[in-house]
Structure 1
Amino acid sequence: MAELSETIDRKPKRSRRKKRRDRTRRAPVGAAPGTLISDPDAHQPRLTLRVLGEDGRHEVHDDIALADLDRLGRGWSKMWLDCTGLAQAELVEEIGQRFGFHPLALEDVLNVGQRPKTEFHDDHLFVILPMLDGQNERGREQVAIFFSQTFVITFQERPGDVFDPVRRRIDAGGKRLFDRGADYLAYALIDAIVDGYFPLLETRSEEIDRLEDDVLDYAEQEQLTRMYEMRREVRHLLQLLWPLRDAVAALVRTESEILSDDTQRFLNDTQDHAIQLLEMSETHRDTLTGLIELHMSLASARTNEVVNLLTIVSTIFIPLGFLAGLWGMNFNPETSPWNMPELSLYFGYPTALGLMLIIALGLIWYFRRKGWLGRD
């Protein structure tokens, strides 16, 4: 029993692929619209304030009292308040009340997994976009952006984002970020989110090219499994990119005074990037579908080759088996001249082997002439 137990323990365990399922936290059934409920497993919030103006910039990390925002922002043309972590619904509600955000918009902030969208309010705009904080689709999180002509408020699920290029431009004193309004800063953040998808899609393009070469070289079952996984990931990504494109397009088409004409021209370039991402993903989906069909065709062709070879081998041995069975019936030629007189031949054994060899070679020559074994 001990040996059996050791054998069982040594058996490799089948790995189970964990599927990522996006769960949207919602208020209890029957709750009033705009009810704010935070996820107890969410990250604790961390506030970062950046204020910009003609005299430069200033940053405040942590320990920010919302009551001091007016004082901290006094004398600066615009501010960016970044809230990373959504574990405290009270903090999100307090921020919303201070800036006049609609309760339904705040509910969407806490209920992560929302569809990308753009909402227009009298004194601000509200955008929800999915963000990739790495070259892996599983590293996706929701980002909510409120902005007007004087402020930008962002809510993220957890630390880690694609805003470092924007922060570096602020630290370097980028002229556009300082001279233009907060709507341009919001554009820069939205553009960074959209451009954050390109590394993932470029990496996926390279992986698809490698898979195509491997499939053409030799088709294996592991390749088919990986292609199905990738196609599922691409299909899930397309479900994000379609509404993301529409959300950016809504900003381009709006006539809101919050967005200047100059910023809308920049957003038009971001819309082009979103369309390019969508086209790349659709190309990946079509390519993977074609590779799956190619893989199945190659596997079927290889199976047919094996079946053809076995059929040919069986066909060659059918007459040989018939002769061996015929001469193996052990009739006695001394009893009657009709009882296999060839069994008494002096060279009967080599004659039988030679006849079998001639039949086998003749069949091989015939199959090759017909093209069943290939042609010279």
Structure 2
Amino acid sequence: MLIYKNGTIVKSEVRRPCDDEIAFIYRANLSDDEIQHIIGDVFECHPLVVEDCKSWGQRPTIDMYDDYFYMSFYVLKNEWDLYEMSIVAGKNFVIAIFPEEEPLIETLKNTLFRSPNKMKSTGMLLYEILHSCVQGYSDLVDTVDDFVNKSENQIYKNPHTNLATKIFKMKRKLHKVRRIFTEEREMIGSLMHARFFQEEDVRYLADIFQHASQVVEMVDTFRDSLTGLIELQMSIKGDRMNEIMKTLTIVNTIFLPMMFIVGLYGTNIHLPEYRWAKNYLWLWGWLLFSLSFMIIYFKRKKWM
């Protein structure tokens, strides 16, 4: 537990802060009895708040009470692992409970000790916690951005590459995180209207709201980009198939008159040309003439 008073931060045992103090309680891997002791006994929060702190895997939510509130927020671990953090905050205290040890807390503690005034109000302390979480979402955004760019280049190089499964899996992941990020943005918007935050605190919360909105917009953009990748792949496949069919059609059309001539003179009917002295050369002349004529005609029409 950290206590802020008169511009300094000191460590302390878990207790209720005085009116001129700001308390920051951070715990991980707590048992139900420990949660009951801190949330229910020391800070005398509602039994529903205690139960919410004991339950993990909830959707992002916020519950307002007379002089405090409960909220669940998600922290990004690695590239896609999101896990829940329970926060209980009042006029002069913030309690953060994690299901497991989180490096975010150590980073936040170091930041507070370097700049104690970042803990001079509940709003600013809450800003530091939530801002660290939202900033961590940028790693996920970068991961998706790299995936989209690599997939696009791969499709241009080889439109027959098997990317559909990967793209659909990525879209499902984005759908999940978008729901979480959208609800968190709405929660931050609700916090901006909480009565126990000062005007300066609201400005900081508005900054988090803006960052959260940017993350949601980027996720929406990536979802559209992934849909566009599927359409791009189908379009390139269709264009290449059309080119192949066009080539085959041209070749077939060019040789069609020659096939007619050969078929005509290959019948069992005695034609007058059979008695000509140079009928073999005459046949080759017709074949070459028809071939040249078709090629010249197609080139003038710009079909080849």
Normalised by the length of structure 1, the TM-score is 0.69
Q: Equivalents in 2 of 1:262, 1:366: separation in Å?
A: 78
Kindly indicate whether residue 302 of structure 2 is the aligned counterpart of residue 371 of structure 1: yes
* Percentage identity across paired residues of the two chains: 26
Report if the CA contact (8 A) 1:163-1:192 is conserved.
Answer: no
In structure 2, what is the equivalent of residue 310 of structure 1? 248
Cα shift at 1:81:
2.6
What stretches of structure 2 of length at least 5 have no aligned partner?
none
User: Would you say 1:103 and 2:47 are equivalent positions?
Assistant: yes
Residue pair 2:76, 2:136 contacting (<8 A) in 1 also: yes
| SS of equivalent residue, structure 2 residue 71 | strand
Residue among 196, 201, 208 paired with 2:141:
201
Partner residue in 2 for 1:265: 203
Aligned Cα root-mean-square deviation (Å)? 3.1
Q: What is the CA deviation profile of residues 236-263 of structure 1, one whole-angstrom value per residue up to 9, with x for unaligned ones?
A: 22212221111000010122x2x22222
Kept in 2, the 8 Å contact 1:146–1:152? The answer is yes
Q: Secondary structure at the match of 1:221?
A: coil
Q: 1:275 and 1:283 mapped to 2: Cα distance?
A: 12
In the alignment, what sits opposite 1:27? none
Match of 1:359 among 265, 287, 290: 290
Q: 8 Å contact 1:224–1:295 — kept in the other structure? A: no
Listed as ranges, the matches of 1:267-306 within 5 Å are 267-306=205-244
Cα distance in 2 between the residues matched to 1:166 and 1:92:
22
Hey, what does 1:92 align to over in structure 2? 35
Preserved contact between residue 147 and residue 183 of structure 1 (Cα < 8 Å): no
Shift of 1:101: 2.9
Q: What secondary structure, in the 3-state scheme, does the structure 2 residue paired with 1:219 have?
A: coil
Tell me whether 1:112 sits opposite 2:60 in the alignment.
no
Moved more, 355-364 or 245-254: 355-364
Rounded to whole Å, the distance in 2 between the matches of 1:76 and 1:346 is 122
Cα distance change of structure 1 residues 97 and 286 upon mapping to structure 2, 3 Å threshold: same
Query: Which amino acid is 2:36 matched to?
Result: E
1:12-91 equivalent positions in 2, closer than 5 A = 49-54=1-6, 55-58=8-11, 69-70=14-15, 77-85=21-29, 88-91=31-34
For 1:186 and 1:161, how far apart are their aligned partners in 2?
Answer: 17
Higher relative contact order (Cα pairs below 8 Å, separated by 6+ residues)? 2
1:348, distance to aligned residue in structure 2 (A): 4.8
Match of 1:152 among 58, 82, 94: 94
Q: In the aligned structure 1, how far is the partner of 2:54 from the partner of 2:303?
A: 68
Separation in structure 1 between the aligned mates of residue 283 and residue 276 of structure 2, nearest angstrom: 10
1:140 aligns with 2:63: no
Compute the TM-score of the two structures, normalised by the length of structure 2.
0.84
Q: How many residues align?
A: 302
1:26 paired residue number: none
Q: Secondary structure at the match of 2:97?
A: strand
> Which stretch of the first structure deviates more once superposed, 152-161 or 204-213?
204-213
Q: Which residue type is aligned with residue 169 of structure 2? A: E
The 1:323/1:159 distance shift into structure 2, 3 A limit, reads farther
Q: Does 339-348 or 110-119 show the bigger shift?
A: 339-348
Q: Which residue number corresponds to residue 254 of structure 1?
A: 194
Q: Is the 2:123–2:202 contact (alpha carbons within 8 Å) kept by the matching residues of 1?
A: no
Q: Does 1:170 align with 2:112?
A: yes
* Alignment deviations for residues 327-359 of structure 1 (CA, whole Å, 9 cap, x no partner): 444x3xxxxxx5245457665555444433332
| Equivalent position SS for 2:270 | coil
What is the identity, as a one-letter code, of the residue corresponding to 1:184?
A: M
For 1:203 and 1:154, locate their aligned partners in 2 and report how far apart those are by CA, in whole Å.
Answer: 28
Please give the per-residue CA displacement for 1:259-289, whole angstroms capped at 9, x wherever unaligned: 2222222111111111121222222223333
**Contact 1:131–1:161, Cα closer than 8 Å, also in 2:** no
Q: Name the CA distance, whole Å, in 2 between partners of 1:91 and 1:266.
A: 32
Is the deviation greater in 234-243 or in 218-227? 218-227
